[in-house]
């Protein structure tokens, strides 16, 4: 081989290695990489022309033929891999094999992401080499693939202090969400917190939910087991505004009330207050009444006008003991098909539940959407419960399955929807009607602080509230907090895995060396 040919070979090798090195470390610097590529190609061509006779002689040997076959097979194998990757790219499918479904989006997240009204921009402030950034990217992958209206960008606070100060960021891992003129910050970017942040920035107005007080109801500022502070926090996370209402003081239900919730009244609701509630419903309002057993609310006649009957009773379900509960605390695991319960499969527990059923009404449509098990019944003899012994009585008790929740809907005229134009009166048949909703559930404790996070209790309550507040996109199972599930091994199991991890590669190396030695001796 001539000296010039050797120089060309060395230059081709060095330029190729240098070009790959520059491209790997600084892919944005394309000019040096292209120059080195050109040097590599030119020297390779010079080498091929100078040594063409030797190359033709080598190509005619048996080893060259075997090498060519190997090269062709390798090319075919790589082509198959490229083809498979193209198919996988066009038909993207992700599989989550984690025990807790860490990378699987909750039904509510999919629903919210799939119905975004406009673009949402996420700016994540992470250090570039932070492992938390990698974890966040993995978590966001499913969300980004579910919608093209979400844009994600990263800012390193250490390298971009001006932008960090502009957004008012003080801690690493903060995510800023922007949509339209709204902005929200999330310091713990879990799935639930991200969805809550998205709901805040895509809603142009906050719907107002008021909780009635003054009759011994559960209070939204009570953090004890029986309180409703957890309910308040959950509704606010879903984008609602929550306030208290004392009718005797206000004298009216404000017109901006999207939903009025009456959580377990213990004292009578006065006739004057019931008239105010009726007037609110006649304007197209929505009311959720949680009526406990032996309640003295005095709403029986009011409810019958809406096609709802709530006799004073206790629901008994012997099968509840199988769930570790009490026979007087039924567990509902089957739901009547309705928008509220569509796709809902989580069991819910109702401590001290009463029957709530529908009756005939001339102008209200009623739906019983929660039923207890077939072995349950509605116990009307409340004195028997004091002894802790209850048996079904065909003459007086209500045979199961027992209805414990009823939704009543009535069409009412929409005031001001169709205003007469040019002082011409429109016929009454042309006026639009809207729906007023009254929902009654035979228990309030199921949504209290003690039971809200039990299985499906909280989701069921929030689904009902979302339906009544006309926020159907929130009706679903919400994301739960996903915790790490470390693998716990005994000392023997740890030793076995260690030995297996060392033995397997050692065995492969031994077989490879032995095979090579045998072929070498042939």
Q: Provide the phi-psi class of 105: left if phi over 0, else alpha when psi is between -120 and 50, else beta.
A: beta
Is residue 501 predicted with pLDDT exceeding 60?
A: yes
Asked if residues 242 and 469 have their Cβ atoms less than 8 Å apart, the reply is no
252 C-beta neighbours (distance < 10 Å), count: 11
SS3 252: coil
Residues 23-42, mean pLDDT to the nearest whole number: 82
Domains contained in the chain, CATH given: 3-90 (no CATH), 107-199 (3.40.30.10), 207-414+432-474 (3.40.50.880)
Q: Within a 13 Å sphere around the CA of 35, how many CA atoms are in the beta-carbon half?
A: 5
Is pLDDT larger for residue 248 or for residue 219? 219
Residue 25 C-alpha from the chain's centroid? 39
Is residue 28 predicted with pLDDT exceeding 90?
A: no
Cα–Cα distances (Å) from 218 to 72, 226, 261, 267, 386, in that order, read 77, 7, 10, 12, 25
Residues 454-483, mean pLDDT to the nearest whole number: 81
Cα–Cα distances (Å) from 346 to 180, 309, 324, 340, 459, in that order, read 36, 27, 16, 13, 9
Residues 498-503, mean pLDDT to the nearest whole number: 78
Is pLDDT larger for residue 281 or for residue 75? 281
Q: Identify the DSSP state of 159.
A: T
pLDDT band at residue 257 under the 50/70/90 scheme: very high
Asked if residues 155 and 124 have their Cβ atoms less than 8 Å apart, the reply is yes
pLDDT at 322: 53
Asked if residues 336 and 358 have their Cβ atoms less than 8 Å apart, the reply is no
Residue 286 to residue 317: CA distance in whole angstroms: 31
| Bridge partner residues of 460 (DSSP) | none
Residue 426 to residue 102: CA distance in whole angstroms: 57
pLDDT at 108: 76
Task: Show the tokens assigned to 180.
Answer: 């339209």
Pairing of strands 120-125, 150-155: parallel
User: Rounded to the nearest 5 degrees, what angle is found at the Cα of 179, between the Cα atoms of 173 and 181?
Assistant: 110
pLDDT band at residue 418 under the 50/70/90 scheme: very low
Q: How many residues does the chain have?
A: 522
Asked if residues 292 and 329 have their Cβ atoms less than 8 Å apart, the reply is no
pLDDT band at residue 416 under the 50/70/90 scheme: very low
pLDDT digits (tens, 9 = 90+) for 193-240: 888 888 888 887 889 999 999 999 999 999 999 999 999 999 998 889
Residues 160-173, mean pLDDT to the nearest whole number: 91
Q: Please classify residue 234 by burial: count the beta carbons closer than 10 Å to its beta carbon, then call 0-12 exposed, 13-18 middle and 19+ buried.
A: buried
pLDDT band at residue 24 under the 50/70/90 scheme: confident
pLDDT band at residue 1 under the 50/70/90 scheme: low
Asked if residues 155 and 165 have their Cβ atoms less than 8 Å apart, the reply is no
SS3 337: coil
pLDDT band at residue 259 under the 50/70/90 scheme: very high
pLDDT at 408: 96
Instruction: Return the sign of the alpha-carbon dihedral for residues 14, 17, 22, 27.
Output: positive
pLDDT digits (tens, 9 = 90+) for 436-445: 999 999 999 9
pLDDT averaged over the chain? Answer: 83
SS3 277: helix
pLDDT digits (tens, 9 = 90+) for 97-108: 555 555 677 787
Q: What is the pTM of this model?
A: 0.66
Is residue 141 predicted with pLDDT exceeding 90?
A: no
Which contiguous run of DSSP H or E holds residue 171?
none
pLDDT digits (tens, 9 = 90+) for 307-358: 999 998 889 888 766 555 566 688 888 788 888 888 788 889 998 899 999 9
């Amino acid at each position: 081989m001539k000296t010039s040919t050797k120089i060309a070979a060395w230059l081709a090798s060095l330029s190729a290695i240098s070009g790959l090195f520059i491209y790997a470390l600084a892919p944005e610097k394309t000019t040096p990489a292209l120059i080195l590529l050109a040097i590599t190609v030119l020297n390779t061509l010079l080498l091929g022309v100078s040594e063409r006779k030797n190359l033709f002689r080598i190509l005619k040997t048996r080893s060259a033929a075997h090498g060519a076959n190997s090269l062709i097979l390798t090319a075919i194998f790589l082509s198959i891999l490229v083809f498979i990757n193209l198919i996988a790219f066009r038909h993207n499918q992700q599989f989550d094999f984690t025990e807790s479904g860490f990378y699987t989006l909750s039904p509510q997240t999919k629903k919210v992401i799939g119905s975004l009204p406009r673009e949402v921009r996420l700016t994540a402030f992470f250090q570039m080499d932070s492992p938390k950034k990698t974890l966040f990217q993995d978590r966001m992958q499913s969300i980004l693939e579910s919608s093209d209206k979400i844009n994600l960008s990263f800012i390193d606070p250490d390298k971009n202090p001006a932008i960090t100060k502009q957004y008012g960021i003080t801690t690493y891992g903060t995510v800023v969400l922007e949509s339209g003129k709204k902005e929200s910050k999330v310091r713990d970017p879990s799935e639930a917190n991200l969805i809550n942040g998205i709901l805040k920035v895509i809603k142009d107005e906050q719907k107002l939910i008021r909780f009635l007080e003054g009759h011994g109801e559960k209070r939204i500022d009570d953090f004890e087991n029986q309180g409703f502070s957890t309910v308040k926090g959950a509704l606010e996370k879903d984008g609602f505004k929550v306030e208290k209402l004392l009718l005797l003081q206000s004298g009216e239900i404000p017109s901006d009330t999207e939903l009025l919730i009456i959580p377990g009244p213990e004292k009578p609701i006065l006739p004057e207050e019931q008239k105010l509630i009726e007037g609110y419903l006649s304007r197209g309002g929505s009311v959720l009444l949680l009526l406990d057993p032996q309640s003295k609310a005095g709403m029986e006649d009011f409810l019958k006008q809406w096609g709802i009957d709530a006799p004073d009773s206790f629901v008994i379900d012997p099968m509840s003991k199988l769930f570790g509960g009490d026979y007087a605390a039924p567990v509902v695991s089957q739901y009547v098909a309705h928008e509220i319960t569509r796709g809902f499969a989580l069991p819910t527990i109702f401590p001290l539940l009463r029957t709530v059923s529908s009756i005939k009404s001339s102008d209200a449509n009623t739906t019983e959407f929660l039923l207890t098990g077939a072995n349950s019944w509605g116990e009307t003899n409340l004195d028997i419960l004091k002894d802790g012994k209850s048996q079904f009585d065909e003459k007086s008790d209500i045979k199961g399955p027992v209805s414990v929740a009823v939704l009543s809907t009535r069409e009412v005229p929409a005031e001001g929807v169709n205003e007469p134009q040019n002082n011409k009166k429109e016929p009454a048949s042309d006026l639009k009607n809207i729906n007023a909703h009254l929902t009654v559930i035979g228990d309030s404790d199921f949504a209290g602080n003690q039971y809200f996070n039990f299985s499906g209790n909280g989701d069921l309550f929030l689904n009902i509230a979302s339906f009544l507040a006309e926020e159907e996109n929130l009706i679903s199972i919400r994301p739960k907090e996903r915790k790490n599930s470390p693998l716990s091994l005994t000392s023997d199991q740890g030793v076995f895995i260690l030995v297996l991890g060392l033995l397997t590669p050692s065995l492969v190396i031994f077989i490879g060396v032995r095979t090579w030695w045998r072929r070498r001796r042939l």
